[in-house]
Structure 1
Amino acid sequence: MGKIKKMKAIIVGGSIAGVSCAHSLTLAGWDVLVLEKSSEPPARSPTGAGLGLDPQARTIIKSWLPHPHLLDETTLPLSIDQNQGTDSEKKVTRVLTRDESFDFRAAYWSDIHGLLFNALDPTMFLWGHKFLSFTMSQDESTVKVETLVMETQETIEIHGDLLVAADGCLSSIRKTFLPNLKLRYSGYCAWRGVFDFSGDENSETVSGIKREYPDLGKCVYFDLARDTHSVFYELSNKKLNWIWYVNQPEPELKSNSVTLKVSQEMINKMHQEADTIWIPELARLMKETKEPFLNVIYDCDPLERIFWGNVVLVGDAAHPTTPHGLRSTNMSVLDAEVLGKCLGECGPENLNLGLEEYQRIRLRVVSEQVLYARCLGRIKQGLDRDGVGLEQKHMPFFSGAPLV
């Protein structure tokens, strides 16, 4: 008897959503090829930042790793979710809410990406390959992808049975099916930075921060001032992650990225504003952080569908979301797990059925979480006065989302 031909999945995007799908589809028995325009794996991304992993996502990630303990070794616990109000005139804070049963772990983006990438066969990745376009066969059974080899400027064609769009919130693949879809600007942007205090643990800046934030290393702090808020928590390897959301008109994006190029003048202005709003210890840390960057915050009204034929959306391509509730990475991991489980259980002969099941399971979950995160962000930014509470534990499916 001849061997059954393996189905081939082409994944566009080598970020966490893409590498997660590479794991889940490989386990489901698929051949996988990942296309990524970056020239090499992001061993230490200059714009990398912190993220929080919930228990369900951690369990899934550990199931993909040959050495699951490495996930705990590269993350720190976030067992406390604390919201506190900041009096910008008196430069003092007071606790508003405190949840001591918050079972997340804090991670540096590139550390998680590295764990996932290093657990895969590197030959399934084509680095320096920019996605250009795709076409589906008339019966929607195969897909052809055109990609540009950045080093040689050569255009090549790649054929497969499934196209997975893991190309982010500005997804060009999604635009093929939803050309009139416009992302919703949140009304604010986010300054972000990672402060590295390795070798400088006893500095005045670090001592002051630890005095004002005594639960660093196990707590995610939300500081709420008038019409603005910030997020602050510790990462492994002596790093402190901060995010500051600033209400402003929508900036013009000049590239296919939500990260803006910032000038020294913009950074200086941010430093000055930090002095007027935050307690001195937090403002000083922001000013001493090297290479802060600025993200434009978008989300999208929930989509009515996330697959067409043999093309499927995952991660931020399927559900652009604001970062409130620490959802983006966790949703991407669960998308990948559910997609792999559905395709594995339905089998290659029932690809459409597997994609329908993936959509049925995930669409309700991500839709509710996107809308909740939007509401949470608007309340903390002073854009709405009524709505959800401040604590993240009220997020829909907070205790776990269905997998199959």
Structure 2
Amino acid sequence: MINRSLFENTATAFALKSDSELERAYFLFKMISSQPLVRIGTAATNFALKAKLPVEGLIRSTVFDHFCGGVNEEDCLSVIDKLYTKRVSSVLDYSVEGKEVEEEFDSALEKILKIIKFCDDREAMPIVVFKPTGFGRFLLYQKKTEGQELTSSESEEWNRIVERFDAVCKLAKEKDVEVLIDAEESWMQDAADDLVEDMMRKYNKGKTTVYNTLQCYRWDRLDYLKALHERGKKDGFNVGMKIVRGAYMEKERKRAEDKGYRSPICENKKETDDTFNNTLSYILENLNDISVFIGTHNEASCYLAMELMERYNISKEDNNVWFGQLYGMSDHISYNLAADGYNVAKYIPFGPVKDVMPYLIRRAEENTSVAGQTNRELTLLKTERKRRKL
């Protein structure tokens, strides 16, 4: 029987936090719980950075250090080592966004290759991650997704994207590191899906190296997975899938409304939760052919995964099942799962402070819009403060 009160253990959840770090976390989530404060803080931070005011130190000592591992790989090492003392692995996430030119894509490729080599002799880092648009222009993926013909120069540009994907997956296979490839907006995703499937076909023979991402707030994703699974069985490759709920809901709905097509997003939260849980169930029923990284901060989905693993006699240490949460969030899930013997990894964003700000702002806005998440964090932090005082 699984322990249904596992996530209530705050002593395990916050064991790595000093009293001052616990107070900082409480202060940050208290701030994030207020929409007006998030709006004002976001505007003020953006202004200060653009005006080159000396605020990086303040950002670094508060929100940055809570949600990020450091400004570069080496800077993250102390965090990585600390987490691994509690059996929690790390996924370094180079969180610099919105690049547009070839030099920047080549630079992103070099960064990911460097991280794979960095992972090679570190047991605490079995996984790397990148975004498709880190390696090529969004509009090119969109054009491919929409079935438009590429010009000769665009075809050459697309070939360079394929080469970047291949270089990462090839090195990862050689170094026995797993690669998670993020999902993005639906109107560019088909091109990314096809490219990731090509990488799976090439590098997922015998052991799963390459993982695509399913955003389960899309109602069509389970059908996509089932069709991919059939192709994998037919062609002899394993499917790797990270499953998440999704990150672009407002943008997706607005575009569908503006352009007059059916929104790809589930109608409500319950439908999204059902899609996520049904997708999770399908994968765990087919673990011989599919490996999964369960990216969720939802306790009910984690308990469901634990129940299904027990039902299907899946070992907690089976490398085909990983749980993942973001650094600085849901420690009550990550550390308690790890203490109970499951494979757990934290996504650890890193990068120069000013470049990582869009990521940090999105985190703050997401936490504000999911009130239950922030309230749960605050309740657990309060409980741990009280426990330590006693």
Query: TM exceeds 0.5?
Result: no
Answer with 1 or 2: which has the greater Rg: 1
Which structure is higher in helix share? 2
Which gives a bigger RCO, structure 1 or 2 (Cα 8 Å, sep 6+)?
A: 2
> Would you tell me which structure has more strand in proportion to its own residues?
1
Give TM-score, length-normalised by structure 2. Answer: 0.26
